[in-house]
Amino acid sequence: MDLFQKAITVKLRHKDKYLVAEDDQESVSLDRDGSSKNAIWAVQFFETERYLRFKSCHGKYLTASDARKVVQSIPKKLDSSTQWEPIRDGLSARFRTPNGNFLRPTGGLPPWRNSVTHRTGTTQEKVSWDVEVVEATPKRPPSPNICRESTLITSFPMGRTPPTLEPKAAKFTTVKHRFMAFTRGEKKLDRV
């Protein structure tokens, strides 16, 4: 899914609450404070890229338990209980288990208030999550070895030789920058 292609870590938000890994290293809940490390989930992809896993700050996986509750755990064998299929829903996403259940925030009275379950969704709104990418893989600049020497020569204007990029020939100089500041239609030049 394109929302996660370059994501390393994300935050998942439903309305105004974030999915957080509790410090007991087992529970998962919803919290308005999305600034804590507990709200950040590492994204792990499979070879097929259909499913992904979320890993908490405690090193445990977001797991769909047998009791419909979502917990953080380290299963002996990483099976389908830790797999989530992201399904794009406009600007949001829904997360489905291989069994067809959706990651779902639960409201209501305690003990269910701010808990998270997995079950079939009655409406898309109840199972939609906003994905906030916290850390992404950086774009790499093209390798200087991509172009062959012959390609450089043939693409350079006739009669001229292309410049070489040798480290000895490179010189660094300090450059003073100027910038323009515009205020209420008046042009003003400031120096730095």
pLDDT at residue number 151 = 40
Please give the model's pTM, rounded to 2 decimal places: 0.69
pLDDT of the residue at 192: 46
Would you kindly state where each structural domain of the chain is located, as residue ranges? 7-136
Q: b/e string for 146-167 if b means 16 or more Cβ within 10 A?
A: eeeeeeeeeeeeeeeeeeeeee
pLDDT at 159: 52
- Residue 40: what pLDDT? 97
- Per-residue pLDDT, 46: 78
Q: What is the mean pLDDT of the chain?
A: 78
Protein fold of 7-136: Trefoil (Acidic Fibroblast Growth Factor, subunit A) (2.80.10)
- d(Cα 98, Cα 147) in Å, to the nearest integer? 45
Residue ranges for the chain with pLDDT beneath 50: 146-158, 162, 165-189, 191-192
Nearest to 120 by CA among 49, 73, 64, 45: 64
> Residue 54: its pLDDT value, please?
96
pLDDT of residue 180: 45
